[in-house]
Amino acid sequence: MNPRLTKSQQRKICSQMGNVKLQLLYKASIHGFTSAAFHQRCDNRCPTVSVGYNAAGYVFGGYTSQPFNQTGQYVNDGQAFSFHLQWRKLVKYPVASPVYAVRMVGNSGPYFGEALVLMYGGQAIVHSNPGNYYNFDAAVMHGNNLNLTDCEVYQVEDTPEFEKPWRPIVWESEKKTEMVDFIKNYCPIVKNVPQARVLLIGPVGAGKSSFFNSINSVFRGHVTSQAIAGCSSTSLTTKFRTYSVKVGRGGKPLPIILCDTMGLEERTGAGLDVDDIVSILKGHMTDGYQFNPSAPLDSEAHGYRKSPELKDRIHCVAYVIDTCKVSIMPTKLQQKLEAIRRKVNLMGIPQLVLMTKVDEACPFVAQDIRNIYRSGYIKEMAQEASARIGVPLSCVIPLKNYSEELELELNCDILLLSAIIQMLRFTDNYFDEYSDSISRNQTKE
């Protein structure tokens, strides 16, 4: 059961109540536009946010800290408010008469005074009479369109905050300098491999290209946008691209190459093909190859490297996942990721997960990115990502890409650099295993 409220809308509502999250209890389009279905799923639950949607595109509702019931009585609630979501903002109308904040009516849905009733009389309609209890303009609230297309009720749940971060991290400029120096001075332990190659894999819109742009920004000293990134229902990356990060303008390349791919899609025959991933892992695919979702790379095709060397192979795989979508990952997309992981495992390539958009997923982190490892919600999402993709929790790295900023921010840089360092450490694991394998084969001979 997926919520109709977007993550952005949920954040706007949660911002009125502190460090909380919303858990969907009732959805009329699934459970039925009946008062019985509403009360069955929502009675004795609190606090709650009730949301109505109409055919004119309006989103509106109310909050109460009191549990629903069917006594027919008014309930006093000084915290109650009604609201509507308009563009990117929430307009809030605090209760004017707290003793009449909410009425517990058995044959209706959420009932905010006499001002706003969702599913009035147990039907898919709105009763609206603002004035004494909640003061709002009906035309602004819902456009005077009283026919509901859906109604949802969410329970408001506290998001736990850890007094001690569940992962220690140092938020200091000296730490950033130390991390930058480590990355600049890194050198693969295998001869004839000048740069570690890391493959970025993930769903459309998760932030693969944005991750490269963000890393590039850190080492350029200002926000850049070399790789095409943005919002789209289909992948903006249509070619296989290998990006070398340089230190400063026209500076020396870093000892790491980030390989960007077409986004994964849940539909069969759309997005990145699993067989193409195998070609990339083995080093057969060359930079600039144009992906064809309906036909994977053929050994006779232009762009196929017939005799790849170790320096052409992938040495580490990073799955890039939108934190906001971890818990609603489509089954078919998860199955694709599982199929990819099995192939990567067979080739002995280490894997990690980059959880992007943490600030969009958690209001507590949005307040201050340094709360990332004090957020119980982020840890919960990291544990779920670990389970869904099949990697240990220690391999899941939450971070924030640069998206709307014009200038670099120290704490964001530290998270991004931490991810790169983990990639290089994992790459060392790959080269260690490779060297041990060579030694074992030589011993047998």
DSSP letters for 24-67: EEEEHHHH-SSHHHHHHHHBT--SEEEEEEETT--EEEEEESSP
E strand or H helix that includes residue 211: helix 208-220
At residue 233 the predicted structure's pLDDT band, cuts being 50, 70 and 90, is very low
38 has a pLDDT exceeding 50: yes
Which pLDDT value is given to residue 228?
Answer: 58
What percent of the chain has a predicted confidence (pLDDT) above 70? 96
User: What percent of the chain is modeled with pLDDT above 90?
Assistant: 64
pLDDT value for 445: 57
What is the mean pLDDT of the segment spanning 229-243?
Answer: 66
- Give the C-alpha separation, 206 to 356, whole Å: 7
Alpha carbon of 407 to those of 190, 221, 331, 342, 404: distances in Å? 37, 9, 38, 40, 9
What separation in angstroms does the CA of 440 have from each of 184, 191, 311, 383, 437? 32, 18, 21, 36, 5
pLDDT in tens, 193-232: 999 999 999 998 899 989 999 999 999 999 987 765 545 4
Answer whether residue 329 shows pLDDT above 90.
no
* Residue 80 pLDDT > 60: yes
CATH class of 173-444: alpha beta
Kindly state the average pLDDT of the residues 77-94: 91
* Confidence at residue 269, expressed as pLDDT on a 0 to 100 scale: 63
Of 163 and 35, more confident: 35
Q: Reply yes or no on whether the pLDDT at 297 is more than 90.
A: no
pLDDT for 345-393, tens place per residue?
A: 999 999 999 999 999 888 889 889 999 999 988 999 999 999 999 999 9
Nearest CA-CA partner of 75 in 54, 95, 104: 104
Residue 162 pLDDT: 86
CA distances from 105 to 70, 72, 74, 110, 363 (A): 5, 5, 9, 8, 33
The residue-averaged pLDDT of 409-435 equals 95
- Positions of CATH 3.40.50.300 in the chain: 173-444
